[in-house]
């Protein structure tokens, strides 16, 4: 009868599965739970039957976790294991240990090992082909201090829980053998580049000044045309002065020239699907997380050396910092790759993941599991990991994948930890409302932005209004639909926060991330080929320029997908997460061929960085300084009132010329336009009237006598 089991599902509830309940009741005496180590019995009362083989039982005493318990019922002797009890408030209060330091804490003369496994019967340390017993503390932490210098030595835990004994890596591991085979003890002080540290971070006056550039390590460095030696590696983004054969900058030098303030790296922590010893055969964006505190081995030049990935990741970050570019990590705390194989599930079955009321796994993420960020020890792991990347790798921000599946309190605590840093830390995420087993009022969604100050949200309303609904391949927006949704433009370009123009997307302007393209779904160029197949290539390029231009000139923080500025294509692949280099690589030949458009984007970035009027910091400032202009629809125009100059921005989403009546007479300087190819000098418009060309975006400036110095 190997299918028999008894599960502790609440403080006083046991769920028992037997061959036939009616027969057991008729033939057996009253059941009891027997605690073998203490030779103690717990009386149990029969409850209601769930079906013919499953019954609920009630007991009155709290049962110990991690002990040999058996249900004695007639001739049956059934092992008793914890199940849903681990997801109760009782369990949280009894076993949470949020102040404990977990992992392998290295010292030159000894290493202290600590792992949380309150339901385990036994936990042992496997180290140097020896087995060491760990001591259990009351809160379920198993720990021991092992003498000797153990730097570079692999280790695992052997855990016995729910009748099964398995080997498991440390979820807090800081280093790994190749392909995540084993955890490795590491002296992190041996991994720092010269002058590496928090003081080397770029100085950021205000995060509203940020311009984010989303980048995949391998995409950026893998193509031979980029002139990068360490192709596909962290060190590829450590190389400066790389260029194409014709001398056009690539890699980190190109990103610096473009003018973006932050790179947002797709996940660089250890992930699945790529054989680190033959990485050229596999590809992954990185959203299949395995170990959260270890850099990905396939990005290292020597993945078989546990220190290689750590050193080289730090060198890459340091190189960005030396170039004046801050580093945001894309982090995935909403799920793991395969729940059943994760160290979380092996150490404390049923605790770290969400379940529906009927006992089924929650799958709001769509990848099979939802990490229970709201549980104390799950939240602790996330906070400890954030702290580790801030302290050890000196990163400058975090982008939270599917942040709407995380809980508000965890995000608040992350924000509080980041606020301790001397340099402002960028926090942003996907605030979609996903069907995870978490009450709506607890979700870190954009609709709850008023509870998440200083955390930014990807503005999907902005994205879909500009180019069409993401989930409808035929849908069009403002730039590719002859001005469709023009009524939304005042709201979008003013930061999506003012009630004057529509329902606010977020509470404050410092919470919106404006974008039209990212790693997910079709690139903008590929979408335009679908929605506007009858338009000419030149017309689609102009539409593309409009979209990127609106993104860069709107209030809020702009976000660019790497290669967007040269019409990046993925050959129509809308979900290229494992599609390989031929689809995903940055095409540095296109960077060269489309340099003219890159210069236009660089000019817009420079305008945004030079004039703070394009990056206002409050709703009040925007309402005082932003005004919609009269323009012949579907042309849209607006003005920004600066201290020493006024700006007028116009955009034409049609293939027609339109006459414009400027907001005032005088000499208007043309700061930027996508109409004049290769424009290098400043043009002027005298008088009150001009015209706008098909698909043109134009930025005008009129100097004034100084009003005040509030924007200086």
Per-position b or e across 300-337, b if 16+ CB within 10 A of its CB: beebebbbbbbbbbbbbbbbbbbbebbbbbbbbbbbbb
* Tokens coding 700: 């005008």
Q: DSSP letter at 264?
A: E
Provide CB contacts within 8 A for 704, sequence distance 6+.
642, 644, 645, 646
Catalytic, out of 312, 430, 464, 696: 430
SS3 for 509?
helix
* Phi, psi (degrees; rounded to nearest 5) at 466: -80, -45
SS3 for 466?
helix
Which CA distances in Å does 403 have to 49, 327, 431? 40, 19, 5
* Tokens coding 653: 């989403």
Q: Say if CB 283 and CB 581 are below 8 A apart.
A: yes
| DSSP per residue, 287-331 | -SEEEEEEE-GGGSS-TTSHHHHHHHHHHHHHHHHHTT-EEEEEE
CA dist 449 and 471 (Å) reads 24
430 is known as an active-site residue: yes
1 burial via Cβ count (<10 Å: 0-12, 13-18, 19+): exposed
| DSSP per residue, 390-447 | HHHS---EEEETTGGGSBHHHHHHHHHHHTTSSS--EEEE-------SS-GGGB--GG
CA dist 84 and 91 (Å) reads 10
Q: Which helix (H) or strand (E) holds 531?
A: helix 524-531
- Alpha-carbon dihedral of residues 692, 693, 694, 696, nearest 10 degrees? -70
472 burial via Cβ count (<10 Å: 0-12, 13-18, 19+): exposed
Q: Which helix (H) or strand (E) holds 381?
A: helix 376-392
280 is known as an active-site residue: no
Per-position b or e across 562-590, b if 16+ CB within 10 A of its CB: bbbbbbbbbeebeebbeeeeeebbbbbbb
Other Cβ atoms closer than 10 A to 552: 22
Catalytic, out of 170, 330, 396, 401: 401
Catalytic (active-site) positions: 401, 430
């Amino acid at each position: 009868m190997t299918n028999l089991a008894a599960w502790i599902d609440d403080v006083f509830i046991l769920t028992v599965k037997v061959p036939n309940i009616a027969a057991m009741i008729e033939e057996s005496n009253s059941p009891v739970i027997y605690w073998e180590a203490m030779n103690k019995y717990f009386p149990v009362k029969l409850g209601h039957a769930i079906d013919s083989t499953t019954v609920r039982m009630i007991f009155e005493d709290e049962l110990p976790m991690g002990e040999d318990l058996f249900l004695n019922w007639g001739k049956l002797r059934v092992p008793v294991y914890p199940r849903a009890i681990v997801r109760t408030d009782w369990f949280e209060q009894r076993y949470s240990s949020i102040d404990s330091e977990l992992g392998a804490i290295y010292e030159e003369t000894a290493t202290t090992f600590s792992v949380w496994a309150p339901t385990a019967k036994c936990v042992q340390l496997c180290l140097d082909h020896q087995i060491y017993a760990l001591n259990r503390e009351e809160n379920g932490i198993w720990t021991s201090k092992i003498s000797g210098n153990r730097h570079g030595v692999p280790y695992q835990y052997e855990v016995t829980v729910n009748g099964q004994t398995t080997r498991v890596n440390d979820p807090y591991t800081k280093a790994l053998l190749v392909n995540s085979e084993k955890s490795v003890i590491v002296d992190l002080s041996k991994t720092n580049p010269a002058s590496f540290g928090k003081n080397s971070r770029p100085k950021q006056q205000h995060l509203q000044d940020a311009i984010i550039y989303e980048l995949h390590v391998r995409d950026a460095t893998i193509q031979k045309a980029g002139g990068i030696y360490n192709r596909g590696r962290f060190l590829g983004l450590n190389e400066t002065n790389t260029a194409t054969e014709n001398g056009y900058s690539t890699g980190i030098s190109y990103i610096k020239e473009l003018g973006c303030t932050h790179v947002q790296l797709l996940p660089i922590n250890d992930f699945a699907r790529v054989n680190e010893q033959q990485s050229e055969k596999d590809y992954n964006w990185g959203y299949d997380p395995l170990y959260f505190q270890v850099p990905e081995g396939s990005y290292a030049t020597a993945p078989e050396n546990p220190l290689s990935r750590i050193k080289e990741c730090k060198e890459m970050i340091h190189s960005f910092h030396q170039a004046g570019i801050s580093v945001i990590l894309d982090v995935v705390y909403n799920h793991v790759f395969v729940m059943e194989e994760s160290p979380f599930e092996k150490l404390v079955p049923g605790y770290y993941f969400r379940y529906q009321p009927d006992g089924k796994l929650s799958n709001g993420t769509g990848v099979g599991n939802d990490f229970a960020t709201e549980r104390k020890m799950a939240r602790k792991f996330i906070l400890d990991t954030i702290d580790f990347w801030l302290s050890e790798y000196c990163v400058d921000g975090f982008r939270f994948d599917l942040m709407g599946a995380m809980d508000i309190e965890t995000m608040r605590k992350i924000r509080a930890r980041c606020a301790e840093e001397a340099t402002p830390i960028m926090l942003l995420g996907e605030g979609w409302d996903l069907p995870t087993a978490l009450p709506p009022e607890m979700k870190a969604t954009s609709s709850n932005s008023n509870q998440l100050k200083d955390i930014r949200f990807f503005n999907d309303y902005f994205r879909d209004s500009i180019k069409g609904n993401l989930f409808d391949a035929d849908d069009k927006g403002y730039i590719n639909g002859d001005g469709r949704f023009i009524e939304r433009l005042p709201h979008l370009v003013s930061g999506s926060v003012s009630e004057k123009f529509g329902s606010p997307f977020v509470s404050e302007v410092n919470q919106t991330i404006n974008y039209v393209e990212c790693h997910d779904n079709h690139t903008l160029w590929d979408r335009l080929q679908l929605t506007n197949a009858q338009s000419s290539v030149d017309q689609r390029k102009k539409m593309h320029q409009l979209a990127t231009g609106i993104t860069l000139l709107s209030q809020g923080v702009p976000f660019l997908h790497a290669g967007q500025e040269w019409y990046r294509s993925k050959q129509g692949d809308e979900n290229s997460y494992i599609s390989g280099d031929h689809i995903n690589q940055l095409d540095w030949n296109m960077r060269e061929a489309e340099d003219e458009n890159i210069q236009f984007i660089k000019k817009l970035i420079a305008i945004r960085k030079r004039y703070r009027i394009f990056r206002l910091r409050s709703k009040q400032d925007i309402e005082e300084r932003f005004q919609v202009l009269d323009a012949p629809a579907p042309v849209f125009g607006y003005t920004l009132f600066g201290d020493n100059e006024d700006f007028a921005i116009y955009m034409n989403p049609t293939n027609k010329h339109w006459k414009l009546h400027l907001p005032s007479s005088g000499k208007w300087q043309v700061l930027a336009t996508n109409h004049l190819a290769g424009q290098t000098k400043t043009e002027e418009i005298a008088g009150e009237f001009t015209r706008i060309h098909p698909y043109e975006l134009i930025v005008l400036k009129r100097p004034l006598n100084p009003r005040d110095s509030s924007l200086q």
